Amino acid sequence: MVSIDNLPDQLVWEIFNRIKNTKDRNSISLTCKRFHTLDNEQRNYIRIGCGLNPAINALTSLCHRFPNLNKIEITYSGWISNLGKQLEDQGLSILSKTCPLLTDLTLSYCTFITDTGLSYISSCSKLSSLKLNFTPRITGCGIFSIIVTSKNLKTLHLIRCLNVTNLEWLECLGKLKTLEDLSIKNCRGIGEGALIKLGPTWGNIKRLRFEVDANYRYMKLYDRLAVDRWHTQWVPCDNMVEIKLVNCIISPGRGLACILDKCKNLEKIHLDICVGVRDDDIIRLAENSKNLRGISIRVPSDFSIMENPLRLTDGSLKAIAENCKLLEFVALSFSDGEFPSLSSFSQNGILNLVKMCCVKELVLDRVYSFNNVGMKALCFAENLEILELVRCQEISDEGIEFVGRYGNLRVLRLTKCLGVTDDGFKRIVGLGKLEVLVVNDCPQRHISQTPIVGSSSYESSLLAAISHRLPVKPPPAGDRRTPQVHRRPSTSQLQAADIVL
């Protein structure tokens, strides 16, 4: 029998690679000197934060201990002054000197790092991914210094970078032609019109996520020059596979509307409260994106678009159904229940989309046109595996009963559906077909207080899981009375497991 002490280093490294929990990795590395040395050589990722005190000395020690680090995440979420000083620019200087293999850097809530610190990171020639989340002292100049020197930059995420106003770095990034993943979220100085500066880089981008702060919009978003450039410049997006736009303005013939119909290989699109989206935009998108597999649309309320009453109708859903045969995920929602867009998507339009495509997951949020008749019609959806209903108030116990007839449904989630009571669940609990049943904030549900006549142990456990909002794993084949209920670990537990101090 071969002892683990006799295993070659490569095999031990492979074992270490399969251990994802950081605390477990740390414990194993302390069992013997050999494992400690091998782990130090093999560890390529660390996540550090508030426990780094004193910050400079601790970071220096970690970088020397793990010489092959290529991915580092520094996060100070929840930091207060009593936890010690945050890492400053000098720390990034040490990082650039001791981590020559650095390719992926994330700075989150690092409020003391400035453009000077980013300029130190520019010396890392292999850097390909930079993610900044709430770094208020970093401006466009700091990002510019990274882009000028980093010829391999493929991923750039900017989240709540409030002082990034100088947009020369966007033009420089457009000339680089290496960017594949761009995410800009709630950066007040960057509007939709600024994205035209990317130029030729549009042809390389695979994932675009752009979110505008709804409470603060840049008033000069559509200056005359930006509009003219969107009109005259061809924007190729052949490599685009995923688009997510939140709180954006989609105007005919300009801005982001110019790219929606040019993504031939698009697989996922998410439009969240994008004012101005028309049927024509979605129809052209569907006709040119035959590989579309997932679409999520959150329609603005009628109240928010009174001055421009453009609405999406069943014409959009029909175009998607006819052209996107690979569609598997559909999410339709309305932003405000107080002013529902009743004249938008109809129940027949939604059902036709599900019927013509192989939809496996359907999410409906505040879709008041969807009722018990629609629930009955979903019995024909043989591919439907996941159904989520949020604030669909026209659905009652009668509609929930039809869930028992769904052939392949595994997951059912209900949230704030006022018409659903205990009686609706009693008829589907004993079927043993669902793997996960989640019920949140349905005020007429009192399952934990309602006795169920003739319920098996599986049914009782399932009801208890519903009351506590837990996922339920079905019992093994041939044993319907031994359920397995698994609890999710808390968020604090997950975060603690990833932090190396």
Does residue 275 have a pLDDT over 90?
Answer: no
Contacts of residue 271, defined as CB under 8 A and 6 or more positions apart, other chains included, come to 245, 277, 296, 297, 298
How confident is the model over 163-211, as pLDDT tens digits?
998 888 998 998 888 999 999 999 988 888 888 888 888 999 999 999 9
As a whole number of Å, the end-to-end CA separation of the chain is 38
- DSSP 3-state assignment of 365? strand
The pLDDT assigned to 471 comes to: 44
The pLDDT assigned to 232 comes to: 56
Q: What is the mean pLDDT of residues 255-272?
A: 89
The pLDDT assigned to 462 comes to: 46
Does residue 339 have a pLDDT over 70?
Answer: no
Q: Report the DSSP beta bridge partners of residue 472.
A: 485
Mean pLDDT, rounded, of the chain: 80
Q: What is the mean pLDDT of residues 146-158?
A: 92
CA distance 221 to 149: 29
Contact 461, 429 (CB under 8 A): no
The pLDDT assigned to 374 comes to: 96
The pLDDT assigned to 13 comes to: 63
CA distance 43 to 445: 50
How confident is the model over 49-106, as pLDDT tens digits?
888 888 899 999 888 888 889 999 999 999 988 888 899 999 999 999 999 899 999 9
The pLDDT assigned to 430 comes to: 66
Instruction: Tell me the pLDDT band of 427, cut-offs 50, 70 and 90.
Output: confident
Does residue 483 have a pLDDT over 90?
Answer: no
Q: What is the mean pLDDT of residues 243-264?
A: 84
Q: What is the mean pLDDT of residues 321-332?
A: 96
CA distance 147 to 129: 11
Lowest mean pLDDT among 11-15, 124-128, 358-362, 364-368: 11-15
Q: Which helix (H) or strand (E) holds 321?
A: helix 314-323
How confident is the model over 125-139, as pLDDT tens digits?
899 999 999 999 999
Instruction: Tell me the pLDDT band of 412, cut-offs 50, 70 and 90.
Output: very high
Residue of 464 and 340 predicted with greater confidence: 340
Instruction: Tell me the pLDDT band of 496, cut-offs 50, 70 and 90.
Output: very low
The pLDDT assigned to 231 comes to: 58
The pLDDT assigned to 53 comes to: 82
How confident is the model over 196-207, as pLDDT tens digits?
888 888 999 999
The pLDDT assigned to 494 comes to: 35
Residue of 138 and 498 predicted with greater confidence: 138
The pLDDT assigned to 8 comes to: 75
Residues in the chain: 501
CA distance 272 to 300: 8
Q: What is the mean pLDDT of residues 378-395?
A: 93
CB count within 10 Å of CB 19 equals 13
Contacts of residue 330, defined as CB under 8 A and 6 or more positions apart, other chains included, come to 294, 295, 296, 350, 353, 354, 357, 359, 361, 362, 363
